Structure 1
Amino acid sequence: MNSISDLFALLPDVEFIDTDAGKTEENIIQLYEALTNTVLYPADPVRLFLSTLAAVISQQKVQINQAGKMNLLRYARGHFLDHIGALVGSYRTEAIAAQTELQFSIDAPLNFNVSVPKGTRVTSDGSVYFATDRLATILAGTTTIQVPATCLTSGLVGNALVSGQLDRLVDPLPYITKVTNITESTGGAEREQDEPYRLRIALAPESFSVAGPILAYEYWARSTSTHITDVAVYSPEPGTVQLRILLVGGMIPAANSKEIRAVRDVLNAEKTRPLCDTVLVDPPVAVSKDYQLKWFITQNQEGYFTAIQAAMKSAVADYEAWQTGAIGRNINPDALIERCRAAGAWRVEITGLPYQALKRGEVTQFITNAARITFGGIEDSKS
């Protein structure tokens, strides 16, 4: 967990007004009885009216309380959070469209150029469209040309289209007989959600100086892409700052990925980086693990086997997402056991996953293994 998140957790809960509906009703009835010198019994029409009035007032109190909380960074959400961010010059990152490289082809070389206009659309299934970023020309005597293209819909929807999937030309062109993407589409990201944006707002004051403090480097790195979910900052030697970048879903970026390049650019700007700092931006170092988990149930749980089996798969997936979701998070099999027990397992046996303290810049990566989870059988819980 990030240090700023830890500080949020240490802050006490805040209530701007008492929203207890029972107390509100009690206060109204007691006040009425004191002013009129009467007793209101449960079936009294006046009491029923005052109870209705108390319910309305209680709802208003809840709204007033929520309005007050929207002014605090810990509780604010949506547009309220946007306004708090504006106070420190930190604005929500908008959705980004995926990109890829398209190749247009003709059947045979011609003695004249064939143009592919900017904005030429290509699709794989008629639901997601990519358009070329610039004018491209198949020169006379050649048969192909490559051109970058951007998804027309921002967000994750344009990602993960592997080479060859984008093969339908939406805008017919003379002489063009084939089109395909020669790289997997990547780089698409959704609009920044409240929680990562809240963390960046909390880090924003660190950016008022040049990127000297650790949190300042973290702020500038996070500001480049909503794909970045964790940043490790440390100094391996005097005058050198090392950043390790982890992407959403525990994914390790390529050494020269779009996200790595963006962080390098923003942190090496003269207005951001201390003059004497050498800034290195790299992916985290993967610590690969391939473990086996065997789980058992008791005789009394036999009738719930199917439900427990599904819960176990979910528990393991949740653990792996947690374990791989932060740089430097120590490998802790106890966290897996806790989740398995909560899912209904009577007992678990884990091999190949001892506790391990990770070094700075390291992150856990699990090798895909379809046979990782196995059912060990039914045990007598009294034995």
Structure 2
Amino acid sequence: MSIVTENFPDISFIDDATVEETMNQMIADYQEKYKELTGKDISLGQADPYRLIMYACTMQIYQAMQYADYAGKMSFLKYASGDYLDNLAALRGISRRQAAAASTVLQFSIETEYPFAVAILAGCRVTNGNDLFFATDEYAEIKAGEKQVTVSATCTQTGVQGNDFAPGELNVVVNTLPYVVTVTNTVTTYGGADIEDDDSLRDRIYSVPDTYSTAGPDGAYEYFAKESDTSISDVVVQTPSPGEVVVYVICDGGKLPEEALLQKVSEHLNDRKIRPLTDHVTIRAPEKKEYDIDFTYYIANSQKTAAGTIQAAVNTAIEVYNSWQTEKIGRDINPSYLIQKIMEAGAKRVDVRSPVYTVLNNSTIAMAGTVNAMYGGIEDD
């Protein structure tokens, strides 16, 4: 959900009129004008031809009203979408970020040292056995007398599907390479992104005025950090001492960033066009504070026919809570929200043993641990 759509009021260019209200207004206007011209009252029955004509006209008029309402809303950041939002972005000098391919580092190895170099051509493809491939970004070679070399590689497809392959998962060489015995990725694949969605672009448009100077304000550092990679979902900026800036970042789903991503953000924020000369900028992953979920919940007797549905909804509520809890750096571990979601799922009451309310500082992120959700049975209302 965008901060803009959450924090600004709804508007309507047609005063939220319904088709029924429009129809009734047309009939009332007709009756009023008829009496003005004839001095007589008139009542239109449900099957009256004039009423049917007005009903047909109402449908066309109301459709035009809907178009007018839609067109008006597309001029506002809260409602704009698609190409309309892209045009609002152009007014601020930014554009929608396109899909990006994931990256990693591959290590090619041989068993025996040779007195000559073993070439790894640019574009050499590696996979984990599925239909997703990573290709080396540049030419590399295992030098004479050595057994291995590392080289960066990029997924041949854009999108998030290239992310989160753990070290060692990419281990199948597609191209024929003489002498090379093994290959493996040494870092978790990262940086793949789908084309930027409307909510993300909407928030960037809203935040871009912070960047009109250099990245002095915390809002500017937040903007430029998110701009450096589409997988970054939250940023916290701290100044422990004058001239010192520490930027904490996390990725989508509350994941901690890999070292390669931290380096990428650091290089972007330390660009001379972004960083004030007097700032020393450090990029870090936040500290982890793990919490476990342990509770027992009960269902009211009046809801026993829906017990299966409620139990499934409780499991979903746990997922929603974990997602909410881990999406922001420094968000306190708050069992009250867990209770709220479980009650909304249909439980009569819930006895939460863990987590307990824990205050986190702005350099720490909550991370979900074990989950023990016990169903206590049916209770009288």
Bucket of the pairwise TM-score, normalised by the shorter protein: 0.7 to 0.9
Give the C-alpha shift of residue 108 in structure 1: 4.9
Q: Which residue of 2 aligns with 1:22?
A: 20
Aligned residues of 2:191 and 2:230 also touching (Cα < 8 A): no
- How high is the TM-score relative to the length of structure 2? 0.88
Tell me: CA distance 1:139–1:215, structure 2 relative to 1, closer, same or farther (3 Å): closer
Aligned ranges 1:230-245 → 2 under 5 Å = 230-245=234-249
* SS at structure 2 position matched to 1:366: strand
> Which stretch of the first structure deviates more once superposed, 352-361 or 61-70?
352-361
Question: Once the two structures are aligned, what percentage of the paired residues are identical?
Answer: 38
Q: CA separation in 1, counterparts of 2:166 and 2:330? A: 31
Q: CA separation in 2, counterparts of 1:177 and 1:360? A: 46
Structure 1, gaps ≥5 residues long: none
The CA deviation string for residues 134-192 of structure 1, in whole angstroms up to 9 with x for no partner, is: 11224445554432211011111111223443344333344555544343322212222
Q: CA separation in 2, counterparts of 1:186 and 1:81? A: 28
Q: CA separation in 1, counterparts of 2:151 and 2:103? A: 11
Give the C-alpha shift of residue 71 in structure 1: 0.9
Q: Which residue of 2 aligns with 1:329?
A: 331
Tell me which amino acid in the other structure corresponds to 1:153. Answer: Q
Give the C-alpha shift of residue 340 in structure 1: 0.8
Structure 2, gaps ≥5 residues long: none
Q: CA separation in 1, counterparts of 2:307 and 2:44? A: 56
Give the C-alpha shift of residue 267 in structure 1: 2.5
Aligned ranges 1:184-263 → 2 under 5 Å = 184-254=188-258, 256-258=259-261, 260-263=262-265
Q: CA separation in 2, counterparts of 1:328 and 1:106? A: 46
Q: Which residue of 2 aligns with 1:120?
A: 124
The CA deviation string for residues 265-298 of structure 1, in whole angstroms up to 9 with x for no partner, is: 2322222223323323222222222241111223
Tell me: CA distance 1:219–1:349, structure 2 relative to 1, closer, same or farther (3 Å): same
Q: Which residue of 2 aligns with 1:78?
A: 82
Q: CA separation in 2, counterparts of 1:265 and 1:330? A: 31
Aligned ranges 1:48-197 → 2 under 5 Å = 48-105=52-109, 108-110=112-114, 112-142=116-146, 144-176=148-180, 178-197=182-201
1:307 to 309, 329, 335: 309
Aligned ranges 1:294-373 → 2 under 5 Å = 294-367=296-369, 369-370=370-371, 372-373=372-373
Q: CA separation in 2, counterparts of 1:97 and 1:263? A: 17
> Which stretch of the first structure deviates more once superposed, 271-280 or 59-68?
271-280
Tell me: CA distance 1:54–1:336, structure 2 relative to 1, closer, same or farther (3 Å): same
Q: CA separation in 1, counterparts of 2:239 and 2:179? A: 57
The CA deviation string for residues 325-365 of structure 1, in whole angstroms up to 9 with x for no partner, is: 11222222111111111112222111232222222222212
* Number of residue equivalences: 374
Aligned residues of 2:124 and 2:175 also touching (Cα < 8 A): yes
* SS at structure 1 position matched to 2:157: coil
CA RMSD of aligned residues (A): 2.7
Give the C-alpha shift of residue 99 in structure 1: 1.5
Tell me: CA distance 1:9–1:49, structure 2 relative to 1, closer, same or farther (3 Å): same
Tell me: CA distance 1:269–1:59, structure 2 relative to 1, closer, same or farther (3 Å): same
